[in-house]
Structure 1
Amino acid sequence: MKKHNYSAGPCILPQEVFEKSAQAIIDFNQSGLSLLEISHRSKDFVAVMDEARALVLELLGLEEKGYQALFLAGGASLEFLMIPYNLMKVNGKAAYLDTGTWASGAIKEAKHFGETIVVASSKPENYNHIPKNYTVPSDADYFHCTSNNTIFGTQMKSFPEVSMPLVCDMSSDIFSRSLDFSKFDIIYAGAQKNMGPAGTTLVVVKEEILGKTGRTIPGMLNYQEHISKESMYNTPPVFPVYASLLTLQWLKKLGGIAEIEKINEAKANLLYAEIDRNPLFKGVAALEDRSNMNATFVLANPEHEAKFDAMWKAAGISGIAGHRSVGGYRASMYNALPIESVQVLVDVMQELEKNI
């Protein structure tokens, strides 16, 4: 039976990425060696890293604009620490928007470095919306936000105009929609949503904002060190970088971000229309802030959960249980999820309605 993978991450990737990755593990570039055993300094892998970094900037429209793309380790959670290390001045301050669990984690790390101002938070409402009409203090060293909140199913539809560096955690919606990415000074994202397997983190940084904190930064945590070593300050996560390159190549061949955005909007519209139409279901996030990546919803009557769970499992659907901290359901519709899989979920929801 075909599986319809709604996992929130690690998540679905294009089938061709699995196939090419599997072949590379057996024999990479017809070298007679596995991708898993070659030197990261070999000509073949240096070419992978160079192409992946260049393709990131090409897809985001940031070529020739002073940006560097890095593939690092430690997950987006390590970036929570690296951002203030590299941007918050000694005796400085930073401004954060609190929109969910991961934003809260970033705020916690920043507090180790200096004054950390939360300009607005939707925590009192269980993060069911994106705060609006907040003010970012003009003397902050940077402003940090999280573009998409996987657990609660909200997504920023616009970003504030600020006078300081704008930093964004785009872990769960990078490469999914068209934005003016040049408005951001640092973008970071764990690979395991729209870009590749778990194990590497993409950081896109405008080089001119670095080196201004007045603090000593350990080499492994210093973006300038990673840039100077062309993302090979230490042994990089070879396999995740290669699989990410394959995914970026797939996206480019598909037509780039503009094309995948149309597909993602169609998928989200299909599912949200059923959530709103079907009296058995209720959406969780505020309408204007609904995420195109992670649709969160609950059953109006919890007594129907057992029946619904049995039905979606029988249909080959996987991974739609809500995050353990909130319950309910979460359908993650990342780039590689086909719209046909969304239709299967909609069909199950309609079948439940007929049988209640």
Structure 2
Amino acid sequence: MTDTAAPASASAPGASSKPKTGDDPFRALGGPLIRDIWYVAMTSDELKAGKLYKKKFLGEPIVMGRDGRGAAFALRDLCPHRAVPLSSGQMLDAPDGGKTVECPYHGWRFRTDGGCAHIPSLVEGQPFDLSKIQVRNYALREQDGLIWIYMPTDPAGEPDSEPPRFANMVRHKGQSEGKVKFVQRAELACHQDHAVIGLLDPAHTPFVHKSPLWRSSKTLKEKEKHYAPSEMGFTMLSHKPVNSYIYNIIGGEIRVEIQFLLPGLRSESIRNEKYGFIGLAAITPIDDTLCEIREIMYWDVPILNLVKLIARPFTHAFLQQDARIMKLQGEGLSYDPPLMQIPDADTLMVWYRRLKREWMSAKAEGRAFKNPVKPAVLRWRT
């Protein structure tokens, strides 16, 4: 690896005091947010019919809901008349059986496709064409119990692909979609880059996530993992895990495979001869300084239906540990310091930044994405 850095004190006499950062510098303040890609907006169960949800993704105000058929929709959360958030209004039935969103200021109503349906103050004979009034709407997809939102660079941009499908998705017999069994959400006070890097970082667990379920920082062991490029990211290839409390719950001959893909998705598949489990961590930027992270779980392991009852406090504590360390890191990052990266524990971070850079370059140049990751064997102690 050429993307490594060492402290100045380890350099030869007379060397520059500024650490070397290789060809892919790790910027303290983060880079531009990834666009022209699908993000996890929320789970299907979180989006209840008849309610409006005020959201913000990539700095854009968005209102979400479900139409009269139950289909999810998303609109820019600003009335074009006086810029009042539509999420502060209400959902109303339309004559055609659909739904409209009513602005609380002057009662303007908008269909779920963004078109203006009604302006109460207009009187008969006034020459005003409602069809020319449009609130921006966003492409959504609902699959595997998740609602995906497409965030284009151009407001008029349309998706050129569908949301990703995860390898080894757990589906019950006769089902074509995965069913979410558990979800926990938290906010991270950091840029998307730092949230994703934290998600990928293999060395922080015994220090940040102090728990009997994880290896102690006093008993670190060397690990060797095999990686290969995969669609929009890379995969830690299937392997037999080190024994742990979590794997023992499932039992049998366990195999684990971990997949990362842009813009910030990490899927951990755990399987034995009969059952499967997928833990999906999804990071969605709210703006340049704040992210949502969701831990989303799928399984067909009967015993996990019982463990689920006690899992929420643990997963809440786990995410709050991440939130705490991101807040602490933010204190230092506010000074825009030079940052460092070492082999092999930081290699996944380097890959993420190369993937992100290639994605944005490919979109800007109108060409196909070319995965820059190469097969590799990485080693670290954790």
Rg larger in 1 or in 2? 2
Structure in which a larger fraction of residues adopt helix:
1
Which of the pair has the greater relative contact order for Cα pairs under 8 Å at 6+ separation?
1
Report the TM-score, using the length of structure 2 for normalisation. Answer: 0.32
Report the TM-score, using the length of structure 1 for normalisation. Answer: 0.33
Structure in which a larger fraction of residues adopt strand:
2
